[in-house]
Amino acid sequence: MMFEDPITMQDYRNQADAINNTHDTREALHKIKQPSLIMVGTADQLIPKEESEFLNEKIPNSRMEIFEGLGHGFIIEQPEKVNNLMWSFIQEHLG
pLDDT tens-digit readout, 53-88: 999 999 999 999 999 999 999 999 999 999 999 999
Asked if residue 16 belongs to a domain, the reply is no
What angle is formed at CA 84 by the lines to CA 80 and CA 85, rounded to 5 degrees?
Answer: 120
Q: Which domain holds residue 71?
A: 32-93
Asked if residue 71 belongs to a domain, the reply is yes
Position 25 confidence tier, pLDDT thresholds 50, 70, 90: confident
Asked if residue 4 belongs to a domain, the reply is no
Asked if residue 18 belongs to a domain, the reply is no
Asked if residue 40 belongs to a domain, the reply is yes
Asked if residue 21 belongs to a domain, the reply is no
What pTM was computed for the model?
0.77
Asked if residue 73 belongs to a domain, the reply is yes
Compute the distance between CA of residue 89 and CA of residue 70 in angstroms, rounded to an integer. 21
CA dihedral 23, 3, 73, 65 (to 10 degrees): 70
- Total structural domains within the chain: 1
